[in-house]
Chain A
Amino acid sequence: MGILDRPQSVAGPGWSRWLVPPAALAVHLSIGQIYGYSVFNKPLTRLLSGDVSAETGAPGDWTLLQVGLIFSVALFFLGASSALFGKWVEREGPRKTMVASALLFCGGFFVAALGVKLHSLLLVIFGNGVLGGIGLGLGYISPVSTLIKWFPDRPGLATGMAIMGFGGGALIGSPLGTALMGRFAGDGTLGVGSTFLIMGAVYLLFMLFGAFLIRVPADGWTPPGWTPKPQAPGGMISSHNVLVDQAFRTPQFWLLFAVLFLNVTAGIGVLGQASVMIQEMFSDRVLGAGNGVTAAAAAGFVGLLSIFNMAGRFFWSSTSDRIGRKPTYMIFFALGAALYFLIPMFGNMGSLILFVAGFCVIMSMYGGGFATIPAYLRDMFGTANVGAIHGRLLLAWSAAAIVGPSLVNGFRDQQIASGVPAAQAYSTTMSIMAALLVVGFVANLLVRPVAEKFWAENRTPAPSHD
């Protein structure tokens, strides 16, 4: 029996459950680096010229559009792998899947370093996009069900701690990448390849720390002094398990798919355009010469949104343990829609403080939506297969990653083309975001407990297909 197998990772007597979140955090903080990948975009387009400050690259240098494919491919494979390998993750346990995630994610950096050396975009896409993306998917879902089993009394808090790490990963990966490139640049090289090698090695150690620290609880383990509450008739927390393939057939799965999709769509498009948006809405022309938001200040705004995105993951998911998942999403959708309605007014008033504060709250709820969904799934479908079900639901994230930015950019471009000043071009987009959140509110309102016919004990287990 291998050290990576599930039975080898069962916690012995005396093992504290508070050692499990740091293990999950180590993995999520590492894979969250993907959200800081944009620091490599410009250097990757100047590899041949070797001058990152040049207006254009040398002949043969990659374009920003081509380099942008790396991130898109990685997010696609994140969604696809978490959906495809969810049942494998549940079967094999967190340690083996975390090791697989570490080897793929960090191996992706090594392949990408080779791609930089050979100036092969395909190799970089294969490394950071395909291998890295599969590592992302496995790493993202690997600790979820383990945490929920260790913290049946506070599943929102537990998964919030891990998924907060994914938000925090960009805060580490971005300055780390910049610092390493600064260290290795010189002699006509920008240091990207060496940075990839070092980051791959550092993240590998960090993720393996998490993999070997993690433990699954022994069968029947419960927190000391805790007894599960008896299920109230019609209550929103089920004590029954639903098989993965059955969950896919319930209306609850698709309602929660819509809830996640709409919440992410409303946030992700804005996150990608935040820097441009604040500079256009609060430009010198709007506020007066010398008073407009500079590029450096806009970068600060993006940084602030990242912090709220991360903090919201922990705050909202732990809050959901107290107020319930459904009310938590009600707040996301109602408050989010109201803020999207109000923010253009804040812009017209020239109130930068209200504008920034509004988006900070929206970003906290965007992060909170990611972090609270595993606990919502646990409430609906039980603990046994929550990791695999969560993996399938993450396809909503992949879909939103395509739809959200397209909506924001598409409507902005259309408004500007029809003669609307840039500062006001976002009003329609924000109204559409508010409308999407109203639809999300209705979808969440429709979520009811799963019907008895879907409970695992009422069915013959479906054969595994993976």
Chain B
Amino acid sequence: MTRSTPESTEPLSPVIYLTWLVPGIPLVWGVWQTLIKVSQLFQ
């Protein structure tokens, strides 16, 4: 993989996916915890 131009690290780079996991994992956990509470509304 070449990284000499901006295009080369546009969305398809694994580095970008991994970096997105850092904020993504806690966010998904928070949404999941909230959805557990939300399920009470529909019981």
Say yes or no: B6 contacts A14, CB within 8 Å: yes
- A356 to B38, alpha carbons, bound, how many Å? 12
Scoring B residues 1 to 38 as 1 if CB is less than 8 Å from chain A, else 0, what string do you get?
00111111111010110011011101101110111011
Residue pair B4, A300 in contact (C-beta under 8 Å): no
- Do A29 and B4 have beta carbons less than 8 Å apart? no
Kindly provide the distance from the CB of B5 to the nearest chain A CB, expressed in whole angstroms. 6
- Binding-face segment, A141-149, A167-175, A323-331, A375-383: A167-175
In the bound complex, do residue B41 and residue A171 qualify as a contact, i.e. CB atoms below 8 Å apart?
no
Stretch at the interface among A303-311, A431-439, A445-453: A303-311
Q: Chain B contacts of A152 at CB under 8 A?
A: none
A18 proximity list for chain B (CB < 8 A): 9-11, 16
Task: Tell me which residues across on chain A come within 8 A of B43, comparing CB atoms.
Answer: 297
Closest to A28 in B: B23
Check if A172 sits within 8 Å of B41, measured CB to CB. no
CB distance from A445 to the nearest CB of B (A): 36
Q: Which residue of A lies closest to B16 (CB)?
A: A18
Q: Which of B20, B23, B39 counts the most A-chain CB atoms under 10 A from its CB?
A: B23
Cβ proximity bits A288-324 to B, threshold 8 Å, 1 near / 0 not: 0000011011111101101100100000000000000
- Residues of B close to A13: CB separation below 8 A: 4-6
| A16, A19, A296, most chain B CB atoms within 10 A | A16
> Which of A172, A301, A356 has the most C-beta atoms of chain B within 10 angstroms of its own C-beta?
A172
CB neighbours (8 Å) of A342 from chain B are: none
Q: With A13-B5, A14-B9 as given contacts, are A303 and B37 in contact (CB-CB < 8 Å)?
A: yes
* B41 adjacent to A356 (CB under 8 Å): yes
| Given A14-B6, A14-B9, A18-B11, also A301-B33 (CB < 8 A) | no
Decide yes or no: A303 and B23 within 8 Å by CB, A14-B8, A172-B29 being known contacts: no
Interface string of A206-233 (1 = CB under 8 A from B): 1001000100000000011000000000
**Residues from chain B with Cβ under 8 Å of A297 in the complex:** 40-41, 43
Known interface pairs A16-B16, A209-B22; A307-B5 also in contact (CB < 8 Å): no
A343 at the interface (CB under 8 A from B): no
CA of A296 to CA of B41, assembled, Å? 7
Closest Cβ of chain B to A260, distance in Å, is 25
A405 interface contact, C-beta 8 A: no
Residues of chain A within 8 A (CB-CB) of B29 are 172, 175
Q: Which residues on A sit within 8 Å (CB–CB) of B9? A: 14-16, 18-19
Most chain B CB within 10 A, of A22, A294, A298, is at A22
Q: A307 touches which one: B24, B31, B40, B42 (CB < 8 A)? A: B31
A165 at the interface (CB under 8 A from B): yes
Name the B residues within 8 Å of A213 (CB-CB): 19
Asked whether A240 is an interface residue with its Cβ less than 8 Å from the other chain, the reply is: no
Contact (Cβ within 8 A) B30 A300: no
A462 to B37, CA, bound (A): 52
Given A14-B3, A18-B11, A307–B38 Cβ distance below 8 Å?
yes
Chain B's closest residue to A161 (CB) is B23
In the complex, A356 Cα to B13 Cα: how many Å? Answer: 40
* A171, B8: Cα distance in complex, Å: 34
A113 interfacial contact with B, CB 8 Å: no
- A300 and B39 contact, Cβ closer than 8 Å, known pairs A14-B3, A16-B13: yes
Contact with B along A4-17 (1 / 0, CB 8 A): 00000000011111
Contact residues of A between 402 and 441, Cβ < 8 Å to B: none
With A299-B37, A299-B40: A171-B27 Cβ-Cβ less than 8 Å? yes
Counting chain A CB atoms within 10 Å of each CB, the highest count among B6, B9, B13 belongs to B6
Closest residue of chain B to A356, judged by CB? B41
A14 with B4: CB separation less than 8 A: yes
Known: A19-B16, A29-B27, A172-B27. A300 touches B11 (CB 8 A): no
For this complex, 5 residue pairs linking A to B, each with C-beta atoms less than 8 Å apart, are A16-B11, A22-B20, A175-B33, A300-B39, A303-B37
Interface residues of A (CB under 8 A from B): 13-19, 22, 25-26, 29, 165, 168, 171-176, 206, 209, 213, 223-224, 293-294, 296-301, 303-304, 306-307, 310, 356
In order of increasing CB-CB distance, the 4 nearest A-B pairs are: A300-B41, A171-B30, A16-B9, A172-B30
